[in-house]
Chain A
Amino acid sequence: MESKVNRSAEINERFVDLFQTSRGRIERNSSKLINSFRSSAMDRFRELGVPGKKNEAYRYTNLEPWFGSNYKSFFVPEPEDFGAAEDFRCEVETLDTHTLILLNGYFPTSNGGIIELPDGVKVGSLARASEIFPEIVESHYGKYAVDGTDGLIPLNTALASDGIYVYVPAGITCSKPIQIINLVEATEDIMVHHRNLIVVEEQASVDLIVCDHALSPRKFLTNAVTEVYVGPSARFDILRVQNEHNSAGKITHTFIHQERDSIAGSNNITLHGGLVRNSTYHRLNGEGAEANAYGLYLADKWQHVDNFVNIDHAVPNCTSKQLFKGVLDDFATGAFNGRIYVSQDAQNTRAYQSNNSILLTDDAHMDTKPQLEIYADDVKCSHGATVGQLDEEALFYLRSRGISAVEARLMLMFGFAHEVIASIKTAALRDRIDNLVLQRLRGELSRCATCMINCDNK
């Protein structure tokens, strides 16, 4: 016990040291505004530390092996690194998107750092954006990424230099989805902190696709924070597709702040990854808002996937829905922790939650925990969780029609997963994800295959 305490104290101390010794480099690649948050964030991290098992929200996920490892921190991007990353870009085929590449948390600044899309939509480097559009960034940055207990959020605020900035002005519907390809690539084990800010103003609408890749076979750890502001009557969807290798640790925190009558959807599709932890927060901050939090996790070997969801019904007349499904094979483990918080004033709240998992082996394991905190009286709320096996009767039904046992299992798994995919509104994207999931279940998904979202020829 003593040594355990020492170990986590030692890990936390290493991050404090890292910050002190690297602060100059972190700040040179960032902006004055973002830098102004660092000191107090580091103080907060000192108080909270890397979450341990005592933190209710991390009960089923042991971060120590990931945070205790030695990484080189990727603080200075070299122009030639981006050259290699740019090669990764390929022809957009049926799926027409605006594509951005983030390499180890950095956006290439050679082109000025900000790309102007039609209708005043702007995308690019957050650090650059906070210099060019300080009033917009200032009114949103650091406002939504708030969690009273998770030390990884202030750690990100202290260490992240850059990330993606997306701005959709009021009334504008971004006709093409914006695709962010998050690459981690290095010849050494590295740790990446990046910070994204998405601003979708009143009555604006945008779809974001985030693809997480680990390109080189090294140990990686990413701790990323994304803040999203969804203005009144605005619409926002974020679809994250995670396809990293077994030595990659990916921790994402997505804070979606929703104003009145907004509709926002989050969907985390985890196809591969050594450790994956997605924390998704929807704050329903204006009446009539609707939040849909979805997730699909497919894990095998020793992979671990943990989804944490926090839906905060702060005002009356809002609706939220959570749907998370997963298939765990071999020794894989999964966790789901869905929190619904309904404040005292939030009358006429509707909040639904469902988590279903299939275990393919006796060694696979799933922990699922709803967490309801309801302080209003007029609330419609439901939650349900199942952990089971493939349906033997359904399997026999398929086989009795000549379908092989292998194919029948695949069809059932795919059918099970499809409910989550079916929620994707863009047909072309839905088909791509269907394909990826099918390949993944067939065991045919290569490291690179997620790029099929973007291309077919790599």
Chain B
Amino acid sequence: MLKIENLKAEIDGKMILKGVSLEVKKGELHAIMGPNGSGKSTLAAVLAGREFAEVKSGRVTYQGNDLLEMSPEDRSRKGIFLGFQYPIEIPGVSMVNFMKTAVNEHRKYRGLAPITASDFLKMMREKKELVELDSALTSRAVNEGFSGGEKKRNEIFQMAMLEPTLAILDETDSGLDIDALRVVANGVNKLKGPENATIVITHYQRLLDYIVPDFVHVLYDGRIVKSAGKELALELESKGYDWIKNEIDGE
């Protein structure tokens, strides 16, 4: 589904991704872990089409197409979803209008008529229940005045509304209490199916108590320095990131 080959990208002339390669197949769940500043969010941003990082070399193919050639909106319409580490507040734009526009843009792309008002309300209600999102929040402006946890839930809510093929969740778990964590994990697990794939970016192994990854990768200093099964997360938890740092930097 997604194939990243030797991806290098820089921000303001500084190389941040120094040759990342990763393949994600249908039905798989990948976890990317790593210390702060190692480039996890940059990788997620490049995959979603954010232009602040400049791709210098490498290829990314998604469902056989060159992903890097696509606009952010086309990536979304083709099924890529990025859960933001820091969701943006947009005053004056209502959640309802935002979601209705997004859903209809996706439908238009698939040649479908705009969703009816009653179907849309029903869909909103179902998805809100799924992520246990306070009903009052969707009558407000996008993320405006939401607490940290509410913002993260809202990301999962949007994911549930758009039903992506490939979800990339950037530290959706950080700053959440156990309840919220369970909700996020639940959302991810519900989405999981044989035709979908998920990449969860996380700093802690905590989330992985609820979500069982098929693969765990460690991104450090712009490179994937270790890849293994779910046991790697436990090893990281007990030995800490210094273990990786020492191993790599010591070489």
| CB-based contact B91/A415 at 8 Å | yes
Name the residue on A nearest B83 (C-beta).
Answer: A400
B243 within 8 A of A: no
B77 within 8 A of A: yes
| CB-based contact A412/B93 at 8 Å | yes
Within 8 A of B (CB), among A355-414: 391, 393-394, 396-405, 407-408, 411-412, 414
| CB-based contact B90/A402 at 8 Å | no
Within 8 A of A (CB), among B87-127: 87-88, 90-93, 97-98, 101-102, 105-106, 109
Contacts of A416 in B (CB 8 A): 91-92
B48, B77, B81, B90 — which one has the most chain A CB atoms within 10 A of its CB? B90
Within 8 A of A (CB), among B61-84: 71-73, 75-77, 81-82, 84
Given contacts A414-B92, A419-B92, are A400 and B82 in contact (CB under 8 A)? Answer: yes
B158 within 8 A of A: yes
By the criterion of a CB under 8 Å from any partner CB, how many residues of chain B are at the interface? Answer: 29
B7 CB to nearest chain A CB (Å):
19
Contacts of B84 in A (CB 8 A): 397, 400
A386 CB to nearest chain B CB (Å):
13
| CB-based contact A400/B48 at 8 Å | yes
Contacts of A407 in B (CB 8 A): 101, 105
A417 within 8 A of B: yes
| CB-based contact A403/B50 at 8 Å | no
CA distance A407 to B88 in the complex (A): 17
| CB-based contact B105/A394 at 8 Å | no
B72, B77, B97, B105 — which one has the most chain A CB atoms within 10 A of its CB? B72
| CB-based contact A402/B109 at 8 Å | yes
Contacts of B98 in A (CB 8 A): 398, 401, 403, 411
B76, B82, B91, B93 — which one has the most chain A CB atoms within 10 A of its CB? B93
Given contacts A404-B105, A411-B97, are A399 and B91 in contact (CB under 8 A)? Answer: no
A432 within 8 A of B: no
| CB-based contact A396/B50 at 8 Å | yes
Number of A-B contacts (CB under 8 A): 79
Contacts of A394 in B (CB 8 A): 88, 90
A418 within 8 A of B: yes
Name the residue on A nearest B109 (C-beta).
Answer: A402
| CB-based contact A399/B97 at 8 Å | no
| CB-based contact B71/A401 at 8 Å | no
Of the candidates A399, A411, A417, A418, the one whose C-beta lies within 8 Å of that of B71 is A399
Given contacts A411-B97, A415-B141, are A399 and B76 in contact (CB under 8 A)? Answer: yes
CA distance A400 to B98 in the complex (A): 12
Name the residue on A nearest B84 (C-beta).
Answer: A397
Contacts of B87 in A (CB 8 A): 397
B49, B71, B91, B162 — which one has the most chain A CB atoms within 10 A of its CB? B91
Contacts of A414 in B (CB 8 A): 92-93
Of the candidates B48, B92, B102, the one whose C-beta lies within 8 Å of that of A415 is B92
A-B contact pairs, 16 of them (CB 8 A): A394-B90, A398-B93, A398-B98, A400-B75, A400-B76, A400-B82, A401-B76, A401-B105, A402-B73, A402-B106, A402-B162, A405-B73, A414-B93, A415-B90, A415-B141, A416-B91
A396-B49, A401-B162, A402-B162 known; 11 other A-B pairs, CB under 8 Å? Answer: A396-B88, A397-B88, A397-B90, A398-B93, A398-B102, A400-B76, A400-B84, A401-B98, A402-B77, A403-B105, A407-B105
Interface residues in chain B, defined as those with a beta carbon under 8 Å from any beta carbon in chain A? 48-50, 71-73, 75-77, 81-82, 84, 87-88, 90-93, 97-98, 101-102, 105-106, 109, 141-142, 158, 162
